[in-house]
Amino acid sequence: MKPTIFSAALLALFAAAATGAQARMLAAPPTDTIVVRLPNKATMTLVVRDAQQLRQLPQYHLDSLVARLGTYIKRADEAAKGAKTDRVTMEFFPNQDAPGQNLPEQIRITTHKSANRAYGPSNKVEVLLEKKFGMVVNIDRKNNDQPRAAASRADRQAHRDSLRLAHIENKSFSSDFVFDLGLNALTNKSNSAPASQRPELRTLGSRYVNLGISYKQRLGGKRSPLYLAAGPEFAFNNYMLEGNNKWINQNGLTSVVPETNGRQYQKTKLATSTFTIPLMLELKLRDDHHRRTLTLGAGGFVGYRLASWTKLKYFEEGSMYKDKDHGSFNLNDWQYGLQGVIGFKSLTFFAKYNLNDLFKENQGPQAQTLSFGLRLSGK
């Protein structure tokens, strides 16, 4: 905006509008608004309470004011580019900067980031001359024929940072789909127990799958990294035996026995499905750009067994057979234990440790389940 254009428009406006403004005061509300469209397609709005205020405008030496106003707007615009919010307000005091020139006592400039641009200069500047007059300068950048400078890398990064921060601050509650994929192991087995009560599991065949929804509530202020996480989950545990052994349930006792009729098993497993409710505290740490870096979570879980079955897979006389047998197999219906997660950026690991035995006391191998692996979603 050039000072000569601004001043010429104002002086012409004062001569033509002073009488009209005074006449309107007889019937109009106690506020007048004068809109000026400048040649550079900017729109200037003057707001006064009466004609007397309008006649006082020339005493503010608008030529000098406009020259200073361009500097003030530029400074406000630059401040808005690097700001983390969509609105920045700055105050200037021309009369203090240049005493004796009868300049306005105060100019307040509010800069809004463009609604249709991700970054860059503002599209709206509000200027308040003291507290008596208001002036709004609107720049329609869509119709502006002047080329716009490309946003710098720092501008784009500042915009992304502000979006992340706004998302964090505005979203205190969230829900995520949980998908865990890992392995099972049996721990704390008794070395003095007979071989039938000390099952050896095939590592890669003893898989663990967990599906669920995690509801997370932030604890503390709007930038707090601490969350409380809970939600329903369905876990599937496979305990696949090593060697040519199989699970059997006889006389109220579940045990592991070798195959004696010469049949060779490809798979011999015990599987369970469990409904689980976890409860964890999660700490989500972020870097200077509000991107997640380190995630730590710890808590417990309690679950109830929904179903259990054994499965045998083998070949006989050139045909493949799959024998499946459903039953309780003397498993404990209730399972409870500790769990935790640790993640760095998009990579997250989980671990779950059952505090009670997998089988009922003296009715099966005395061992506890350890599940561990990758959390593929719900990070």
333: left (phi over 0), alpha (psi -120 to 50) or beta: alpha
- Cα 318 to chain centroid distance, Å, stands at 56
Residue 112: closest CA among 133, 145, 134, 83: 83
Sorted by sequence, the CB contacts under 8 Å of residue 90 that are 6+ apart come out as 72, 75, 76, 79, 108, 109, 111
Name the burial class of residue 85, with classes exposed (0-12), middle (13-18) and buried (19+) by CB atoms within 10 angstroms of its CB. Answer: exposed
pLDDT mean values, one per 10 residues, the chain (379 residues) = 47 44 41 67 67 69 67 76 72 75 73 54 52 52 49 80 87 94 94 87 96 96 95 97 93 92 90 98 94 95 97 88 94 97 94 97 95 87
Residue-level pLDDT at 23: 37
Domain extent listing, the chain: 3-161, 171-377
Residue-level pLDDT at 169: 87
Residue-level pLDDT at 152: 75
Tokens for 84, please give them. 């983390």
Q: What contacts 24+ positions apart, CB below 8 Å, involve 286-295?
A: 286/168, 286/225, 289/157, 289/160, 289/161, 289/164, 290/161, 290/164, 290/165, 290/168, 291/164, 291/345, 292/345, 292/379, 293/344, 293/345, 294/343, 294/344, 295/341, 295/342, 295/343, 295/344, 295/348, 295/379
Residue-level pLDDT at 32: 64
Structural contact between residues 144 and 119, judged by C-beta atoms closer than 8 angstroms: no
* Model pTM score: 0.61
